């Protein structure tokens, strides 16, 4: 593992704690990437009336999203040659975004394994 020189850290214990927290944060980001990033948004199909069965809001504009996949459509059909790249980008952004929520650290018991670290310490990693 690569650690850059941190001149302001004086003790080996502090350096170990920071590297441990960094590793845990990266693992949590990977969990968010795989479970929520890859595991969401691909199976929203319109009902028989053609309407999306759930109400979703764009997280940036807060506008209502009222489109879903039609019967027979797939993720690859919608995004074509960019489907794989778009999927990885979506997963990366999701994993990073979820790092700011305390519940992620609690649900994955990250602070349990490093009792000196709070979820706020991990967010700053």
Q: What is the pLDDT of residues 60-111, one digit of tens each?
A: 899 998 788 888 888 888 889 999 999 999 999 999 899 888 888 888 887 6
Residue 32 pLDDT grade (very low, low, confident, very high; cuts 50, 70, 90): very high
User: So which residues are the catalytic ones?
Assistant: 34
Pick the residue with more confidence: 46 or 19? 46
Lowest mean pLDDT among 16-20, 49-53, 79-83, 119-123: 119-123
3-state SS string over the chain? CCCCCCCCCCCHHHHHHHHHHHHHHHHHHHHHHHHHHCCCCCCCECCCCCCCCCCEECCCCCCEECCCECCCCCHHHHHHHHHHHHHHHHHHHHHHHHCCCHHHHHHCCHHHHCCCCCHHHHHCC
Q: How much is the pTM?
A: 0.66
Residue 45 has pLDDT above 90, yes or no: no
Statement: residue 115 has pLDDT above 70: no
């Amino acid at each position: 593992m690569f650690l850059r020189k941190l001149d302001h850290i004086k003790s080996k214990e502090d350096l170990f704690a920071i590297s441990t927290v960094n590793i845990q944060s990266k693992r949590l980001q990977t969990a968010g990437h795989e479970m929520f990033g890859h595991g969401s948004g691909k199976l929203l199909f319109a009902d028989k009336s053609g309407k999306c069965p759930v109400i979703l809001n764009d997280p940036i504009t807060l506008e209502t999203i009222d489109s879903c996949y039609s019967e027979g459509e797939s993720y690859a059909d919608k995004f074509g040659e960019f489907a794989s790249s778009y999927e990885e980008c979506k997963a990366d952004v999701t994993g990073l975004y979820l790092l700011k929520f305390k519940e992620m650290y609690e649900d994955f018991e990250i602070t349990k394994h490093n009792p000196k670290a709070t979820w706020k310490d991990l967010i700053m990693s």
